Amino acid sequence: MAHFRKTALVTGSGQNIGRGIAHELAKAGHNIVVNGSRNREAAETVAAEVRELGVNASVAMGNVGVRDEAELIIKRAVDTFGSIDILVNNAAIRPHGPFLEIENDDWQNVIDVNMYGPIWLARAALPFMIENGWGRIIHFTGMNAQRGYPGAGFVSVSKHALWGLTKALAVEFGPSGITSNIISPGTFPPDNENIEASEKYQLLLKNNPSGRLGKPDDIGGMIAYLCSENGGFVNGQMLQINGGVVMQY
């Protein structure tokens, strides 16, 4: 697919789902910008893995929840590859706590990273996508934004906001050849998690109609499709990548 090589920024791609997305986009032939906020070693490792798949990769560290850093991430991607075609807003924080006990600073941190980060990144990337007449923007929500979960109030607020942003961008920038979609993932255990020994994961496994939990390439494969020419007519949609567990609620 070298003839369709694009440049993709995947935020929070030093591990877990983000790492899997970077791998799948690389397999599809796209150059990858790996991002993390703290662990450069992990980001460099993923970049090396991506290069082994036959594409180019760079690392752009930065906290997406800080506007100047978010804009600098895009600048570094453009400085390296000349443009930015694909933006995958995977980075997020998901703390939980009783609604009445959440500190104001915690509220602000979640809103900055989960909501404002994708906004700032999209605003910085869109001019390049418009100029190219092609772009893909992919956000992440979650089941806690589709129904109520105790202790997940401020995460739900931030993630539900991205559903509104997804639809707004789809309508406004669709005529420019840019699509905007959102992924709603189910349970994806961390790379190093022993699910066999975890009572929590065994319960989640039992309740999933597909009989298993998620793997990073489940999401990565869907995103690779959305970023292909064949995926260009999918716009403004929420895609449920959760094995059908959303039907249980």
User: Does 10 have pLDDT greater than 60?
Assistant: yes
Phi, psi of 173 (to 5 degrees): -110, 0
Which residue intervals of the chain are DSSP H helices?
Answer: 16-27, 40-52, 67-81, 104-110, 117-132, 153-173, 199-206, 216-226
Burial call 58-96: b when 16+ CB within 10 Å, e when fewer: bbbbbbbbbbebbbbbbebbbebbeebbbbbbbbbbeee
Phi, psi of 83 (to 5 degrees): -170, 180
Q: Which pLDDT does position 146 carry in this prediction? A: 72
Residue 47: which pLDDT band, with cuts at 50, 70 and 90? very high
Average pLDDT over residues 172-177: 98
Q: Which helix (H) or strand (E) holds 56?
A: none
Residue 198: which pLDDT band, with cuts at 50, 70 and 90? low
Q: Where do the domains of the chain lie, and which CATH numbers do they carry? A: 2-248 (3.40.50.720)
- The model's pTM is 0.91
Residue 191: which pLDDT band, with cuts at 50, 70 and 90? low
Residue type, 176: S
User: Does 2 have pLDDT greater than 70?
Assistant: no
